[in-house]
């Protein structure tokens, strides 16, 4: 067998991988009403889903404009509840503490954490547009001295080693290799620091990723990990789980309501509802502590 080397030497390796560039392109272009219309309500722009019982009576409203508005408000309430749950697990934190938001999107999660604890936050996103948007929001709120967003790679943030009391990923782990990600969190967190992740993962007790999971991957250009991989990669990187919660039953009402929101749907709703109902996909929260180095 002859191996042909196709002149790879002459092609410079880009600083950002082709995959990362595609992900950045997606988020630089993303303007889904389900994110912008919800965010506009109180200037908390989230890029995650909702949890908790949905008030489905909003669907009974007969005035079409009011019905749309009520549905939008209800979905935002559920997304806000998710952000509050995550933030509640980061603490206790003091106003002098720093927290790191890995994959911060348009910035809502960092604002929620700052409002709760008064802490400093550093959010990182691969999308320059998201970082600019989030920094503008922080300026408008007058919290930009403590709440900052950076256009950087969450695997290689350049932030200060051991400076963080808490860190999190809210639905952003499916864009990266978990070992590299958790190594960066372990580097940034001080000893005993708290890490929280909320994520969609495929349920490997059922086997490989289901068709619905593959559809979700294609939709967001991501690569959803199996549940087991989270625990293996955490163990390899000094992150010790202290609390694990399957949020699948809590998120289903959000997806069932979102499926009926004709003015907001993106087309991925059915895949989520089916995957959660058939058990092949789970919405999981893992809370972990950064173990000592020696
Ligand atoms: C996006 O939230 C979330 C992801 C891209 C991660 C995928 C999440 C899983 C649980 C698999 P968004 O709020 O930007 O998405 P949408 O536009 O659909 O509301
Ligand atoms: Mg959304």
- Residue nearest ligand 1's atom 12 by CA: 47
48 alpha carbon – ligand 1 mean position (Å): 5
| Cα distance between residue 252 and residue 232, in whole Å | 27
Give the residue numbers spanning the domain of 31. 2-290
Q: Give the predicted TM-score (pTM) of the model.
A: 0.95
Q: How far is CA 69 from CA 8, 30, 63, 110, 264, in A?
A: 54, 21, 10, 26, 11
Q: How far is the CA of 47 from the centre of ligand 1 (A)?
A: 6
- Give the pocket of ligand 1 (CB within 6 Å): 32, 34-35, 47-48, 171, 174, 200, 216, 220, 222, 224, 266, 268
Ligand 1 center to 30 CA (angstroms): 11
From the CA of 125, the nearest ligand is 1
Task: Please tell me the distance from the alpha carbon of residue 103 to that of residue 151, in angstroms, as a whole number.
Answer: 10
pLDDT tens digit at each of 294 positions of the chain: 445 555 556 767 767 899 999 999 999 999 999 999 999 999 999 999 999 999 999 999 999 999 999 999 999 999 999 999 999 999 999 999 999 999 999 999 999 999 999 999 999 999 999 999 999 999 999 999 999 999 999 999 999 999 999 999 999 999 999 999 999 999 999 999 999 999 999 999 988 888 999 999 999 999 999 999 999 999 999 999 999 999 999 999 999 999 999 999 999 999 999 999 999 999 999 999 999 876
DSSP structural state of residue 225: P
Q: Which of 97, 91, 54 is nearest to 72 (CA)?
A: 54
* Nearest protein CA to atom 2 of ligand 1, as residue: 47
Closest CA to 170 of 276, 73, 83: 83
Which sign, positive or negative, has the C-alpha torsion 232, 198, 178, 122? negative
Largest CA distance in the chain: 71
CATH number at residue 224: 3.40.50.150
122: Cβ contacts below 8 Å, ≥ 6 apart: 98, 99, 100, 101, 110, 148, 149, 150, 157, 159, 164
Residue whose CA lies nearest to ligand 1 atom number 7: 171
Radius of gyration for the alpha carbons in the chain, expressed in angstroms and rounded: 19
**What distance in angstroms lies between residue 5's CA and the mean position of ligand 1's atoms?**
39
For residue 121, the SS3 value is: strand
Q: Give the chain's domain count.
A: 1
């Amino acid at each position: 067998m002859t191996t042909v080397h196709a002149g790879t030497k002459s092609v410079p390796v880009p600083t950002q991988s082709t995959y990362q560039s595609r992900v950045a392109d997606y988020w630089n272009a993303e303007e889904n009403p389900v994110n912008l219309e919800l965010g506009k309500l109180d200037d908390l722009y989230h890029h995650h889903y909702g949890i908790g019982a949905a008030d489905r009576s909003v669907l009974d409203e007969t005035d079409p404009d009011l019905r749309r508005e009520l549905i939008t408000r209800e979905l935002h309430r559920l997304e806000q509840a998710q952000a509050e749950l995550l933030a509640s697990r980061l603490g206790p934190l003091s106003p002098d503490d720093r927290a790191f938001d890995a994959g911060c999107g348009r910035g809502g999660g960092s604002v929620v954490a700052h409002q709760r604890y008064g802490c400093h936050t550093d959010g990182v996103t691969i999308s320059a547009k998201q970082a600019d948007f989030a920094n503008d929001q922080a300026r408008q709120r007058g919290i930009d001295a403590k709440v900052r967003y950076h256009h950087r790679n969450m695997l290689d943030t350049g932030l200060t080693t051991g400076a963080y009391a808490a860190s999190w990923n809210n639905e952003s782990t499916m864009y990266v290799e978990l070992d590299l990600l958790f190594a960066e969190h372990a580097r940034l967190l001080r000893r005993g620091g708290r890490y929280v992740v909320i994520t969609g993962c495929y349920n490997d007790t059922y086997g490989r990723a289901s068709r619905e999971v593959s559809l979700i991957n294609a939709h967001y250009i991501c690569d959803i990990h199996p549940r087991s991989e989270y625990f293996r990669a955490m163990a390899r990187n000094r992150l010790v789980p202290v609390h694990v919660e399957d949020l699948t039953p809590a998120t289903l009402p959000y997806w069932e309501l979102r499926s009926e929101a004709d003015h907001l749907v993106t087309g991925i709703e059915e895949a989520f509802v089916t995957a959660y109902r058939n058990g092949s996909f789970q919405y999981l929260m893992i809370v972990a502590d950064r173990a000592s180095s020696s």
